[in-house]
Amino acid sequence: MPKARRKLPKGIHIHESGSVYICDKNEHGKIIRENTHQSDLRAAELLLAKPAQDNEEALHLSQL
C-alpha cells in the first residue's frame, strides 16, 4: 500500500520538477510566487514564516 501524502501548508506548492515554491501576497494584493531552489519542505516553511524582505535576502545569499 502506498504511503499517504502529507498535506502541504498554505502558501507552499511543489513543482513537477520537485522544486518547492512559496506563494504570498505583496502589499498591493498581487500573488507573488518565489522558487526556493530546494526540495525541502521544512526550509520552505521557514522562509514563508519570515518577512518578505528577509526572504529576498535569504534567497539571494543561497545563490552566491
Q: Are 22 and 34 in contact (CB under 8 A)?
A: yes
Distance from C-alpha of 21 to C-alpha of 37, rounded to nearest angstrom: 8
Which tens digit of pLDDT belongs to each residue from 5-63? Answer: 778 888 888 888 888 998 888 778 888 888 888 888 888 888 887 766 666 666 666 66
Residues 6+ apart with CB under 8 A from 31: 23, 24, 25
Domain boundaries, the chain: 12-62
Please state whether the predicted TM-score (pTM) of the whole model is above 0.75: no
The H or E element that residue 5 is part of is: none
Query: Per-residue pLDDT for 2 more than 70?
Result: no
pLDDT band, residue 1 (cuts 50/70/90)? low
Give yes or no for a contact between 9 and 19, defined as CB atoms under 8 angstroms apart.
no
The overall longest dimension of the chain from CA atoms, in Å, is 46
